[in-house]
Structure 1
Amino acid sequence: MAVPSTAPQSPTSRKVLLLGLLIVLFIAVYSVAWHFAAEFLRNRITGFFSGGNPAGVSANCENATMGGYPSRFRLNCDRLSFDDNFQGISASSGPVRAAAQVYNPGQVVWEMDGPAEIRSALGFNSTLEWSDLRASFRAGFSGLQRSSMEWTDLKTKVTSTVTGLQIEVTTPHLESHVRQNEGNLDYAALINDTVVAVNGTAIALPPVSASIDATFADRGGLLDPRLAHRQELYGTKGELRRMVVDAGEGRVLTLRGPFSVGNDGLISGSIRVEIEKIRAWRDTLKTAYPDQQETFDDLAKVLRVLTLGKDDGSAEITIQNGVASLGFIPLGQLPPL
Structure 2
Amino acid sequence: PGPHSAYAGRSTVVDLAADAWGGRGGPPRDGCGDATLKNGVALMKTQARSLRGQAVDIHKLDLSSRTARITVSGPVSVDANGQVNADLTIKLQDPKAVAAILATAIPEQKSQIEQGFAGLALLGNEPSMPLKVVKGKVSLGFIPLGKIKPLD
- TM-score normalized with structure 2 length: 0.76
Q: 1:284 to 1:272 in 2, by over 3 A?
A: same
Deviations for 1:116-166, whole angstroms, at most 9, x for unmatched residues? xxxxxxxxxxxxxxxxxxxxxxxxxx8xxxxxxxxxxxxxxxxxxxxxxxx
User: Is residue 325 of structure 1 aligned with residue 145 of structure 2?
Assistant: no
Cα drift, residue 291 of structure 1: 4.4
Contact 1:219/1:231 (CA < 8 Å) preserved in 2?
no
Give runs of aligned pairs for residues 89-238 of structure 1, distance below 5 A: 183-191=5-13, 203=25, 205-224=26-45, 228=46, 233-238=51-56
Contact 1:219/1:233 (CA < 8 Å) preserved in 2?
no
Query: What is the aligned counterpart of 1:294 among 111, 118, 124?
Result: 111
Cα drift, residue 252 of structure 1: 0.6
Contact 1:222/1:231 (CA < 8 Å) preserved in 2?
no
- TM-score normalized with structure 1 length: 0.38
Unaligned runs of 5+ in 2: 19-23
User: Is residue 263 of structure 1 aligned with residue 76 of structure 2?
Assistant: no
Cα drift, residue 287 of structure 1: 4.6
Higher relative CO (CA 8 A, sep ≥ 6), structure 1 or 2? Answer: 2
- In 1, Cα distance between equivalents of 2:82 and 2:71: 24
- In 2, Cα distance between equivalents of 1:188 and 1:335: 26
Greater mean deviation of Cα atoms: 265-274 or 281-290: 281-290
SS in 2 for 1:282: helix
Unaligned runs of 5+ in 1: 1-141, 143-181, 197-201
Deviations for 1:88-136, whole angstroms, at most 9, x for unmatched residues? xxxxxxxxxxxxxxxxxxxxxxxxxxxxxxxxxxxxxxxxxxxxxxxxx
Calculate the aligned-residue CA RMSD, in Å. Answer: 3.2
Q: 1:304 to 1:218 in 2, by over 3 A?
A: same
Query: What is the aligned counterpart of 1:275 among 92, 102, 114?
Result: 92
- In 1, Cα distance between equivalents of 2:131 and 2:10: 22
Aligned residues, how many? 146
Cα drift, residue 258 of structure 1: 1.4
- In 2, Cα distance between equivalents of 1:185 and 1:193: 20
Which one has a larger percent strand, Structure 1 or Structure 2? 1
Amino acid at match of 2:53: G
Deviations for 1:7-58, whole angstroms, at most 9, x for unmatched residues? xxxxxxxxxxxxxxxxxxxxxxxxxxxxxxxxxxxxxxxxxxxxxxxxxxxx
Cα drift, residue 245 of structure 1: 0.8
SS in 2 for 1:292: helix
- In 1, Cα distance between equivalents of 2:135 and 2:148: 9
Higher Cα radius of gyration: 1
